[in-house]
Amino acid sequence: MNEAAITLDGWYCLHDFRAIDWTSWKLVSQEERTNAVDEFVQYLEKINESHVAKTGSHAFYSIIGQKADFMLMILRETPEELQELEAEFNKLAIADFTVPTYSYVSVVELSNYLAKGSDEDPYQNPHIRARLYPELPRTKYVCFYPMDKRREGNDNWYMLDMEERRKLMHSHGLIGRSYAGKIKQIITGSVGLDDHEWGVTLFSEDMLQFKKIVYEMRFDEVSARYGEFGEFLVGNLLDNDKLANFLTV
Ligand code: 76R
């Protein structure tokens, strides 16, 4: 059998995409809408307590295009917490005016392709901990897509030996690093958890950087030959003011 990469696994992750049912939202009274927005803001403030306490994190963005209207990405220590927060959202008044359009369950993942051998426990290393339990940035833009590594004929990632994969991932990492300071990426693993193998979440202050990095990586062998992609979703940061504005009809 071929050697599997060893992964380090951090916080569990739920990407929850919702569309707004504008027609029914417009039908309710102004008072009901205000109450629903206030309650939604309270929920967001509650989940922000974990972000502040560094026991979790979340990102909240409006989504452009018809695939969804907003995305709530939540990171927590346990799958139970994700489920509770999802159920709690569903019980809010605002949820009656949303339609689930997509969700993704995964766990923050680092692989050992480029790791230098060491005897220390990686889970105690502060640099690694900062990546496994990340404070999600509040950049202006987000991009999310799920992806797989191809398993077809001669292009089967899982049949390549470790050395070959390491070499390819090195090249991938070099491109990635050239975007340092422009893009922050969170790779979440979802083999056995959801329909694709990884979720890719990119954060940037400049939406064009998403196009640039994804395009550049398409020419790199890991993506060119072995990358298969699900749907792409992009959006703009939402804060409480923007949310109130967004929901004003
Ligand atoms: O963890 C590390 O920083 C080491 C290098 C590294 C690994 C192991 C790395 C660096 N990535 C790794 C793993 Mn990545 N990454 C993607 C995408 O659209 C596409 O073509 C691919 C989507 C982007 C944009 C991206 C960005 N990476 C992975 C894996 C798991 C592979 C496996 O285990 O088989 C996937 C699916 C994946 C996909 N990568 C980087 C980046 C960036 C910006 C970096 C540099 C990070 C840094 O140095 O801070």
**How large is the ipTM?**
0.90
Q: Domains in the chain, please, with CATH?
A: 7-247 (3.30.70.1030)
Ligand 1 geometric centre to CA of 119 (Å): 24
The closest of 179, 230, 229, 186 to 205, measured between CA atoms, is 179
pLDDT of residue 117: 77
Average pLDDT for 191-215: 98
Rounded to whole angstroms, how far apart are CA atoms 197 and 206?
A: 27
Ligand 1 geometric centre to CA of 83 (Å): 27
Residues paired with 93 in a beta bridge? none
Indicate the annotated binding residues for Fe-coproporphyrin III: 131, 145-149, 172, 185, 223
What does the pLDDT look like over 119-153, one tens digit per residue? 899 999 999 999 999 999 999 999 999 999 999 99
Helices of type H across the chain = 22-27, 30-53, 79-91, 126-132, 162-177, 208-218, 221-226, 240-246
pLDDT of residue 119: 85
- Active site annotation includes 133: no
**Encoding tokens for residue 98?**
């949303």
Q: Are 219 and 212 in contact (CB under 8 A)?
A: no
Q: Are 53 and 110 in contact (CB under 8 A)?
A: no
pLDDT of residue 116: 80
Pocket residues for ligand 1 (CB within 6 Å)?
5, 110-111, 113-114, 147, 149, 169, 172-173, 176-177, 179-180, 183, 185, 187, 198, 200, 202, 213-214, 217, 223, 227
Q: What is the pTM of this model?
A: 0.96
**What share of the chain has pLDDT > 70, as a percent?**
100
Mutate to test the pocket of ligand 1, among 187, 210, 221, 231 (most ligand atoms within 8 A of CB): 187
Average pLDDT for 215-220: 98
Q: Are 70 and 247 in contact (CB under 8 A)?
A: no
Query: What is the DSSP code (8-state) at residue 6?
Result: P
